[in-house]
């Protein structure tokens, strides 16, 4: 099966107070502010090469407004448009958006607004394209290089998981199954990494977290130091997930949206031959928090 989605391109996160929350995203998480228009600020990690990966929009509620996946080639957008039609999925064509070209927008069975697009203004990362150093100086806060994945909630996870598998051709890297074999939660990929998107049980349209990369154990502990120094509420970590093997810190932005620093460096690489890993329901605690071996009270009950 060809690989047609290059990554989770951007997420739109709602903020109860844009100026306040921008301080967190820029000075603690360390994203680069690349634009601001009306009630939305556009941000990206220093190693991202397009105009933005996070839209932070002031609203009367917290949560995620949309997630957008970027296709590998322009033709892949046409390919998915045909698939949406074949599967009878109603979609809307968004001719253009801020520094972005044509997109297809539809509602997934999980209750989330999903977009597919290809064109976005190419800005390059923060390093020169010729003879670059390994990382830029003067990063603020954690200084995350890029957005990694998002995890969302769905009232009928198996239906939503099936939709992303069938219509958008995501593959399962890992799944948590009930004793009768029904998937209760799944980690889905197209990019060769353990997940671009994950789905767990919960309210329709719920936003569990968006994750940003930290790329070493040093960076993981430095991130924890920075969060604690700024008295950010840390939900869990530093720790490690059994699922994906990734290291993690869960924390909240000032509007209560959960964010994560995800250690892709500790996770495995996907390969076209990879087959799904299964976790049984009785082992969920270690699947989620490998060291604690128990779920914290907030993991499945606190999200926006």
Q: Which residues bind other proteins (CB under 8 A)?
A: 14, 16-17, 60-63, 233, 235, 252-258, 296-298, 301-304
Sheet holding 171-177, edge to edge: 234-240, 247-252, 258-263, 206-213, 147-154, 197-201, 183-189, 171-177, 277-280
- Please state the closest distance from residue 284 (CB atom) to other proteins, in A: 18
Burial 115-147 (b: 16+ CB within 10 A, else e): bbbbbbeeeebbeeeeeeeeebeebebbbbbbb
d(CA 74, CA 118): 6
Q: Catalytic: which of 117, 236, 250, 303?
A: 250
Residue 75 or residue 294: which is nearer to other proteins going by CB?
294
| 209 noted as active-site residue | yes
Pull the structure tokens for residue 54.
């996070």
Q: Catalytic: which of 112, 209, 236, 303?
A: 209
- Please state the closest distance from residue 219 (CB atom) to other proteins, in A: 24
DSSP lists the bridge partners of residue 300 as none
Residue 62 or residue 287: which is nearer to other proteins going by CB?
62
d(CA 82, CA 174): 28
Residue 212 or residue 250: which is nearer to other proteins going by CB?
250
Q: Catalytic: which of 195, 236, 291, 303?
A: 195
> Which H helix or E strand runs over 250?
strand 247-252
- Please state the closest distance from residue 13 (CB atom) to other proteins, in A: 10
- Please state the closest distance from residue 40 (CB atom) to other proteins, in A: 17
Residue 59 or residue 184: which is nearer to other proteins going by CB?
59
Judge residue 277's burial from the number of C-beta atoms within 10 Å of its C-beta, 0-12 exposed, 13-18 middle, 19 or more buried. middle
Residue 82 or residue 233: which is nearer to other proteins going by CB?
233
d(CA 162, CA 70): 20
**In terms of DSSP H, where are the helices of 152-191?**
157-166
Q: Catalytic: which of 149, 158, 174, 303?
A: 149
119 φ, ψ (degrees, to nearest 5)? -80, 130
Among 228, 248, 225, CA closest to 238: 248
* Maximum alpha-carbon separation in the chain: 55
Pull the structure tokens for residue 47.
């190693």
Residue reference for tokens 């430095």: 222
| 195 noted as active-site residue | yes
- Please state the closest distance from residue 21 (CB atom) to other proteins, in A: 9
| 230 noted as active-site residue | no
Residue 139 or residue 302: which is nearer to other proteins going by CB?
302
- Please state the closest distance from residue 60 (CB atom) to other proteins, in A: 4
Number of Cβ within 10 Å of residue 37's Cβ equals 10
Active site residues: 149, 195, 209, 241, 250, 260
């Amino acid at each position: 099966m060809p690989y047609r989605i290059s990554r989770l391109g951007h997420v739109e996160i709602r903020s109860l107070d844009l100026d306040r929350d921008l301080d967190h995203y820029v000075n603690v998480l360390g994203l680069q502010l690349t634009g601001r228009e009306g009630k939305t600020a556009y941000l990206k990690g220093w190693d991202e090469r397009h105009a933005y990966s996070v839209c932070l929009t002031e609203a009367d509620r917290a949560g995620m407004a949309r997630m957008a996946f970027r296709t590998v080639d322009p033709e892949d957008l046409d390919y998915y448009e045909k698939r949406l039609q074949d599967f009878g999925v109603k979609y809307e064509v968004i001719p253009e958006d801020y520094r972005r070209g044509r997109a297809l927008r539809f509602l997934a069975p999980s209750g989330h607004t999903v977009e597919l697009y290809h064109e976005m203004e190419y800005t390059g990362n923060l390093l020169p394209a010729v003879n670059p150093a390994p990382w830029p100086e003067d990063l603020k806060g954690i200084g995350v290089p890029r957005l990694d994945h998002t995890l969302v909630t769905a009232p009928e996870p198996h239906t939503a998981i099936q939709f992303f598998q069938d219509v958008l051709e995501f593959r399962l890297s890992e799944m948590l199954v009930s004793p009768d074999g029904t998937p209760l939660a799944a980690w889905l990929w197209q990019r060769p990494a353990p997940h671009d998107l994950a789905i767990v049980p919960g309210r329709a349209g719920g936003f569990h977290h968006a994750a940003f990369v930290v790329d070493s154990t040093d960076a993981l502990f430095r991130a924890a130091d920075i969060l604690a120094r700024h008295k950010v509420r840390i939900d869990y970590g530093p720790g490690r997930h059994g699922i994906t093997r990734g290291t993690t810190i869960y924390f909240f932005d000032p509007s209560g949206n959960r964010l994560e620093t995800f250690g892709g460096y500790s996770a495995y690489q996907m390969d076209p031959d990879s087959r799904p890993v299964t976790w049984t329901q009785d082992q969920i605690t270690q699947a989620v928090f490998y060291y604690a071996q128990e779920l914290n009270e907030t993991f499945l009950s606190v999200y926006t």
